[in-house]
Amino acid sequence: PDRKKLHTAPVGQVFRLRPFHVLVATGGGYAGYRKYEDYKLEQLEKRGIEVPVRLASEWEVALYKSVPTRLLSRAWGRLNQVELPTWLRKPVYSLYIWTFGVNMKEAAVEDLHHYRNLSEFFRRKLKPQARPVCCVHSVISPSDGKILNFGQVKNCEVEQVKGVTYSLESFLGPRISTEEMHFSQAPPGNSFQQQLVTKEGNELYHCVIYLAPGDYHCFHSPTDWTVSHRRHFPGSLMSVNPGVARWIKELFCHNERVVLTGDWKHGFFSLTAVGATNVGSIHIYFDQDLHTNSPSYSKGSYNDFSFISNNNKEGIPMRKGEHLGEFNLGSTIVLIFEAPRDFKFNLKAGQKIRFGEALGSL
């Protein structure tokens, strides 16, 4: 009996742990395979070869979600806070600079020994003259990055990349009550998209900017506007690189994100910071109550916070180019805003852009 008991205990433990280990190993392996597929697609695109869209099936998305990206992102965040010995800083940061093509000539502090940990290095500030803010155009890029998509919002669907869309309402969540927004009541409309447009003759526009790990990690106000509301969606932390955005429909609706809404001179304006793998930390400078990538959350939940109060009836005024927030690593910013029909983007899909450069104007 003793011998039998010694054998059954370990087998029981292995049986209880096995499903989790299998999911992690399988999901991680599949994520690696997808990375390789993404690399091949990028090479084809560089050669000018049109790549057909192939969307992930439900089981593929479920498999990818089985990878504990939220746990890994929290672990990565703690690792980033560990102070490195002075002698180790230059080789570690130099490897990162070489891997992701970081331009340290633009950094306010070029000396690598100055950055005590990886987190400080990721969040490095730039020299004041490194990113001049365009004064001519009404909307500028809030960050460095790559333009994934832009244009008019049509049929309540927004393109995350060419040919792959997501629902406008799923992304932003239910419309915020007009009591919390200090611009005029939107004219009655049948669709969620029409409800966001507050002025007759206006259209709804969008722009998606992907920040790679080597990009400047802070983001700024893209125009003069007033932020009246914040909506935080806890969620997955899947990669948001262009290959995955092309593969998973409604990727941005699956992932954790912070939606800032308000108004500018032409009506509704919103900026959404989308989390990604190793980007559990989304920090909004004026919002000390925001805490992202918490250990547990309810699927499909969100929490709202209004910046309009008895003491502050207008909300948070932001000037074009003003510091707004930062990511822990690369990620994505989505702008969705209302403007007159003659608004024009000065962009090409796939182009690199830097904070302060023009997105579009009237």
- Identify the pLDDT of residue 40: 64
- Identify the pLDDT of residue 278: 65
Q: Is 214 found in the same domain as 164?
A: yes
Q: Is 256 found in the same domain as 107?
A: no
Q: Is 119 found in the same domain as 145?
A: no
Q: Is 143 found in the same domain as 114?
A: no
Question: Is 35 among the domain residues?
Answer: no
Which one has a higher pLDDT value, 279 or 229? 229
Q: Is 163 found in the same domain as 95?
A: no
Question: Is 13 among the domain residues?
Answer: no
39-48, 213-222, 323-332: least confident range? 39-48
Q: Catalytic residue positions?
A: 144, 220, 331
Q: Is 162 found in the same domain as 100?
A: no
- Please report which residue ranges of the chain form alpha helices under DSSP H: 2-46, 58-65, 69-81, 86-100, 118-122, 168-172, 192-196, 242-247, 251-254
Q: For residue 324, give the nearest of 362, 270, 267, 276 by alpha carbon.
A: 270
Domain tally for the chain? 2
Question: Is 62 among the domain residues?
Answer: no
Q: Is 163 found in the same domain as 290?
A: yes
Residue with tokens 């190793």: 278
Contact 54, 247 (CB under 8 A): yes
Please, is 234 exposed, middle or buried when counting C-beta atoms within 10 Å of its C-beta (0-12, 13-18, 19+)?
Answer: buried
* % of the chain with per-residue pLDDT over 70: 75
- What pLDDT band is residue 49 in, cutting at 50, 70 and 90? low
User: How far, in Å, CA of 359 to CA of 344, rounded?
Assistant: 9
Which one has a higher pLDDT value, 286 or 47? 286
Tokens representing 317 are 């005024």
In the three-class reduction of DSSP (H, G, I as helix; E, B as strand; rest coil), residue 27 is classed as helix
Strand order in the sheet with 282-284: 218-220, 323-327, 282-284
Q: Is 102 found in the same domain as 146?
A: no
- Identify the pLDDT of residue 331: 85
User: Has residue 20 got a pLDDT over 70?
Assistant: no
Question: Is 285 among the domain residues?
Answer: yes
User: Has residue 181 got a pLDDT over 60?
Assistant: no
Q: Is 206 found in the same domain as 98?
A: no
- Please report which residue ranges of 131-229 form alpha helices under DSSP H: 168-172, 192-196
User: How far, in Å, CA of 85 to CA of 270, rounded?
Assistant: 42
Q: Is 154 found in the same domain as 109?
A: no
Question: Is 22 among the domain residues?
Answer: no
Mean pLDDT, residues 138-145 taken together: 94
Question: Is 185 among the domain residues?
Answer: no
Mean pLDDT, residues 95-112 taken together: 90
Q: What is the mean pLDDT of the chain?
A: 80
* % of the chain with per-residue pLDDT over 90: 33
Mean pLDDT, residues 119-127 taken together: 86
Question: Is 50 among the domain residues?
Answer: no
Q: Dump the DSSP string for 167-188.
A: EHHHHH-SPPPGGG--SPPPPP
pLDDT digits (tens, 9 = 90+) for 282-335: 889 999 888 887 776 677 789 999 998 767 778 999 999 999 998 877 788 999
User: Has residue 279 got a pLDDT over 70?
Assistant: no
- Identify the pLDDT of residue 23: 41
Domain extent for 219: 139-174+192-361
- Identify the pLDDT of residue 291: 85
Q: 0.85 cut: is pTM over it?
A: no
Q: Is 160 found in the same domain as 238?
A: yes
Q: Is 220 found in the same domain as 145?
A: yes
User: How far, in Å, CA of 255 to CA of 245, rounded?
Assistant: 11
- Identify the pLDDT of residue 128: 82
Question: Is 253 among the domain residues?
Answer: yes
| Farthest-apart Cα atoms in the chain, separation | 85
* CA separation, residue 312 to residues 125, 224, 235, 248, 263 (Å): 30, 18, 30, 40, 15
In the three-class reduction of DSSP (H, G, I as helix; E, B as strand; rest coil), residue 62 is classed as helix
- What pLDDT band is residue 205 in, cutting at 50, 70 and 90? very high
